[in-house]
Amino acid sequence: MESRPRNLPDDVDALKAALLKAWAENAIARAVESDDKALIAHQKLVIAKLQRQLYGPKAERSARLVDQLELTFEELAGSATEDEIAAERAAAKTTVKGFTRKRPDVRATFPEHLPRERVVIDPPTICDCCGGTRLRKIGEDVTQTLESIPRQWKVVETVREKFSCRDCEKISQAPAPYHVIPRGWAGPSLLAMILFEKFGQHQPLNRQVERYAREGVPISLSTAADAVGASCSVLAPLLARLEAHVMAAERLHGDDTTVPVLAQGKCDVGRCWVYVRDDRPFGGQAPPAAMFYYSRDRKGEHPQAHLARYTGILQADAFGGYTKLYEPTRQPGPIEEAACWAHARRPFFAMADLEENARRKAAGKKEIPLSPMAIEMVHQIDALFEIERAINGCSAEERRAYRQQHSAPLVKVLEVSMRDACTKLSRNHDLFKAMNYMLKRWSSFTRFLDDGRVCLSNNAAERALRGIALGRKSWLFCGSDRGGQRAAAMYSLIVTAKMNDVDPQAWLADVLSRIAAHPAHQLDELLPWNWVPRTGVAQAA
């Protein structure tokens, strides 16, 4: 079928005008399409965030899904703005009506604490209509624009004047102020920034000093490294108090992750261990905290040393290194094992991922064979997590009673179905292995029914390790075992501050400026959950 346009004008200028009009209409159509895509992406993102707030993480990939939606919206919103500007420019050259995006109503007013700079444009002196000069002000329109001032550096000169006594000729002088690090070349705010950038934002020191040099402040790498070591030494007493608080918990979450370590001619794989105290799910009043440790390998002797004096409940995976902790003859007492249902769910989910198959099918890839039995297992485990959301934050006794009434019958049905299925499956079948993993530790998996302090998952520990997993892509490896130990110490302080909704950098700056003169028996006052920032007091720069 012929699709060439009809009734085209013969005049060249008319043809140019028609072409220009068609070009403008096409630009506007692209802008409308981009705006619709950005709006849909924004609505999906809002829905995903609201679902997480309302129901909590329904699957292991829920957090990554929100991150992916945010990235998608970011790209589509940028494209929509580009297309909008192109449509405006095209419409300005023709009689075609322009297009203006209807952006999501997410722009908040600027915080009141930000300083304001008032810039007044010179007013007109004559009337645009009649040329008169008798003008009277009747109001004003104010447009607020958020601006950033580049980071400011300054040198603080602390002067100690000397005085000589005219009677005895003895010289008097004020005592030297405390410096966080030897020779006092860096103030606490600068040290806090270096520490937080390195361990909180995962920016290695070499990248930091390069940025400082571009800002006109050359700091050698060795000097910055000295500052990190000295600051960690100063904060060591706080770390000891933090460790005592974590190990006094009734229940701990434990987990570990890999940490590449530079070695002679190669890169070894070390381990970073974390133990999280978080009593909020069962209504506990103790503040949450996390304690990190580093080791060169994953031998069981490391968690056994970390928890040598601990007695209570440990929520962790089935790592064999924890086995000796659960022995009845252990001193000072056995640790009760609580298994993680989220770990147990993952192999079933891998055989029941309908969404992954849909993506593979759309991409023309081979689909994963799905198991109806695995799909049913995922549904049953998800039903247990749904029950948990109703009692999150309740007291331990309330949680135990609610679980006995609602969760216990589901767990019984689940056990019967798994034991029956295992008699019909091959021992090499993935489904048999996943079920056998649970049945061999069934007492640990069902401990939550009789103890309201136990959580259904070990996600608290996994959340604490998430920063390390992301940071590995930036800092690549630890330079040495000592470096790994320093990193574990700083992760403990920074992650604990975040868990208590405290700005880690502001907390570090204040603590570094105060800790030397702070009484040792009142050191707990500087821990993140007790910290009160000083107001109206000049802090050391």
3-state DSSP call for residue 288? coil
pLDDT of residue 63: 61
Q: What angle (nearest 5°) sits at the alpha carbon of residue 55, between those of residues 51 and 57?
A: 85
Minimal CA–CA distance to 448: which of 400, 412, 405, 410?
A: 400
CA 514 – CA 189 distance, rounded (Å): 12
In the block, which residue shows the tokens 């089935």?
318
pLDDT of residue 536: 43
Q: In what helix (H) or strand (E) does residue 38 lie, and over which residues does it extend? A: helix 12-55
What is the pairing mode between strands 266-277 and 251-263? Answer: antiparallel
Write the CA distances from 13 to 10, 19, 374, integer angstroms: 9, 10, 69
Three state DSSP letters for 440-504: CCHHHHCHHHHCCCCCCCCHHHHHHHHHHHHHHHHHCCECCHHHHHHHHHHHHHHHHHHHCCCCH
3-state DSSP call for residue 30? helix
Q: How far does the chain reach from its first CA to its final CA, in angstroms?
A: 79
Q: What angle (nearest 5°) sits at the alpha carbon of residue 133, between those of residues 132 and 139?
A: 105
Burial of 254 from C-beta contacts in 10 A (0-12 / 13-18 / 19+): buried
The domain limits of the chain are 12-92
Minimal CA–CA distance to 153: which of 177, 185, 117, 112?
A: 185
Structure tokens at 467: 């920063």
Longest CA–CA span in the chain (Å) reads 115
pLDDT of residue 230: 87
Q: In what helix (H) or strand (E) does residue 313 lie, and over which residues does it extend? A: strand 313-315
CA 536 – CA 241 distance, rounded (Å): 28
What is the pairing mode between strands 289-295 and 266-277? Answer: antiparallel
Q: Is the pTM of this model over 0.85?
A: no
Over the chain (541 residues), the average pLDDT of each successive run of 10 is 60 78 79 77 74 56 62 68 74 71 61 88 89 88 84 89 90 86 84 94 89 92 87 93 96 93 73 96 95 94 96 94 93 94 92 75 75 91 94 95 97 95 92 95 96 95 88 67 89 96 96 90 95 62 37
Angle between helices 430-439 and 341-350 (to 10 degrees): 170
